[in-house]
Amino acid sequence: MTQIYLDFNASTPLSPPVAELMHQLIDSGYGNPSSTHWAAAPARDAIDTARQQVAALLGCDSHEIIFTSGGSESNNLALKGAFLARRDRNAVHIVTTCIEHPATLSPCRFLESMGARVTYLPVDKTGRVDPKDVRAALGPDTLLISVMHANNEVGTIQPIAEISAIAREHGILMHTDAAQSVGKLATRVDELGVDLLSIAGHKIYAPKGIGALYIRRGTRIEPLIHGAGHEAGLRAGTESALLIAALGKACETVPSKSDLDRIERLRDLLWKGIKAAFHDRAVLNGHPRHRLPNTLNVGFKGHTGAGILASLPGVAASTGSACHEDRIEISPVLQAMGVPADVAVGAVRFSLGRTTTKTEITAVIEMLRPAAAADSSSALTAPT
């Protein structure tokens, strides 16, 4: 069976430069980077280099980068850390959206149990939040705004720079979860205007278990893990030089613009093929323009997402709904966008990457044709 991987938004394979560097460090980077002897030097140097590589991608100072275990920890550190470190004890309000990743929504709900007040803003039918709604939600007790840069399910890109300008105008911290956008979009922190930005390594061809949080100089954050003074005192625990170096190399070798343009053309080719086969029974979920170049979320009317994937043997992709014994649970993101139930239950996310080929996309289109033909046959024989 031919295997085709179209689930890059879930996780990416290691890029060759990352894998090569990790092999080199397995034997030489075993020392504790906090030690001062010769065995620590390779690990310490690898971490210093990686911090500079991540900072170069984001356009910030290397001292503003804190390494974490991944995007979830970075989001938790940003949200909980900002809330716990607030100077004004009356600043308890957080503004976010209803389509955030659980790594943002769950910390927000936890903080509500600690006295935080959280506003969950709606989005439009394309998955975009209106900056006017952000402005209207602010109050004298607002501490933080947290809006993801790009949605992991439908790929919709949020107007982060515009929202950040509103935050600065009111002296409010701005955080963005950039796990899906780093390496696919420009993520220069000064252009985005953010104070906090989260990265997940396994979304950019680095290993799982490593991430980073950008913290703008002067931003107060209370650490979640206390111990020795690692990571500028913000994240205790001996650093993994192996994983950190891998993240740095991944940030240094993100796909080029030409790579991303090629991926976007393949994504559009897939959509064109699906639309030609299914016609109005295939619906695009997400923004038609403000969308990640690799992401295509399609609702197949008359099908379940699981049913579509069953017709694609060997293809790795994700559905927009969860099938249980007696019901189908629609994605909260699609629900928040107001996607009709008959479209949402048939949602499938295809997310492409740097190894995706035109041959693979053509093969997927061909595998989908029988399902499209069966739809047409049913329509022709349906009673009037």
Q: Are 166 and 142 in contact (CB under 8 A)?
A: no
Beta bridge partners of 177: 198
Residues 309 and 176 both lie in one domain = no
pLDDT band at 374 (very low <50, low <70, confident <90, very high): confident
Q: Are 340 and 241 in contact (CB under 8 A)?
A: no
Q: 274 phi and psi, to 5 degrees?
A: -65, -45
Average pLDDT over residues 128-155: 98
The pLDDT of residue 102 is above 60: yes
171 burial type by CB count under 10 A (0-12 exposed, 13-18 middle, 19+ buried): exposed
Residues 357 and 328 both lie in one domain = yes
For the chain, what is the domain count?
A: 2
Q: 347 phi and psi, to 5 degrees?
A: -75, 135
Average pLDDT over residues 325-333: 79
Query: What pLDDT digit, counting tens, does each position of 172-210 carry?
Result: 999 999 999 999 999 999 999 999 999 999 999 999 999
Residues 242 and 324 both lie in one domain = no
d(CA 294, CA 182): 12
What SS3 class is residue 138?
A: coil
d(CA 112, CA 98): 15
With respect to residue 38, please indicate whether it lies within any of the assigned structural domains: yes
Given the structure tokens 């970075």, which residue do they identify? 74
pLDDT band at 223 (very low <50, low <70, confident <90, very high): very high
What pLDDT sits at residue 31? Answer: 85
Residues 220 and 260 both lie in one domain = no
* Straight-line distance from the first to the last Cα atom of the chain, in angstroms, rounded to the nearest whole number: 41
217 burial type by CB count under 10 A (0-12 exposed, 13-18 middle, 19+ buried): exposed
Q: 176 phi and psi, to 5 degrees?
A: -130, 135
pLDDT band at 378 (very low <50, low <70, confident <90, very high): low
The pLDDT of residue 326 is above 70: no
d(CA 310, CA 331): 19
Query: What pLDDT digit, counting tens, does each position of 339-360 carry?
Result: 999 999 999 999 999 999 999 9
What pLDDT sits at residue 377? Answer: 52
pLDDT band at 2 (very low <50, low <70, confident <90, very high): confident
Percentage of the residues of the chain whose pLDDT score is greater than 70: 96
Dihedral (C-alpha) 188, 191, 196, 197: value to the nearest 10 degrees?
A: -40
Q: Are 211 and 45 in contact (CB under 8 A)?
A: no
The first and second tokens of residue 201, run together, are 């390594």
Q: 192 phi and psi, to 5 degrees?
A: -75, -30
Summary mean pLDDT of the chain: 94
With respect to residue 4, please indicate whether it lies within any of the assigned structural domains: no
Q: Which CATH number goes with the domain that contains 292? A: 3.90.1150.10
Tell me which of 47 and 377 has the higher pLDDT: 47
What SS3 class is residue 79?
A: helix
The pLDDT of residue 35 is above 80: yes
Q: Which of 209, 236, 252 is the last residue of a domain?
A: 252
Average pLDDT over residues 118-144: 98
State the residue range of the domain holding 60. 16-252
Residues 205 and 290 both lie in one domain = no
Crossing angle of the two packed helices 257-278 and 358-381, in degrees rounded to 10: 20
323 is catalytic: yes
The pLDDT of residue 328 is above 90: no
pLDDT band at 48 (very low <50, low <70, confident <90, very high): very high
What pLDDT sits at residue 380? Answer: 35
The pLDDT of residue 89 is above 90: no
With respect to residue 178, please indicate whether it lies within any of the assigned structural domains: yes
Q: Which of 192, 220, 252 is the last residue of a domain?
A: 252
What SS3 class is residue 308?
A: helix
Residues 204 and 289 both lie in one domain = no
Percentage of the residues of the chain whose pLDDT score is greater than 90: 88
Q: 181 phi and psi, to 5 degrees?
A: -95, -30
Tell me which of 49 and 322 has the higher pLDDT: 49
Residues 74 and 173 both lie in one domain = yes
CA distances from 373 to 225, 308, 350, 363 (A): 56, 13, 21, 16
Residues 207 and 286 both lie in one domain = no
pLDDT band at 383 (very low <50, low <70, confident <90, very high): very low
The pLDDT of residue 322 is above 80: no
Catalytic residue among 60, 108, 251, 323: 323
Average pLDDT over residues 24-44: 88
Given the structure tokens 């979860």, which residue do they identify? 177
What pLDDT sits at residue 382? Answer: 37
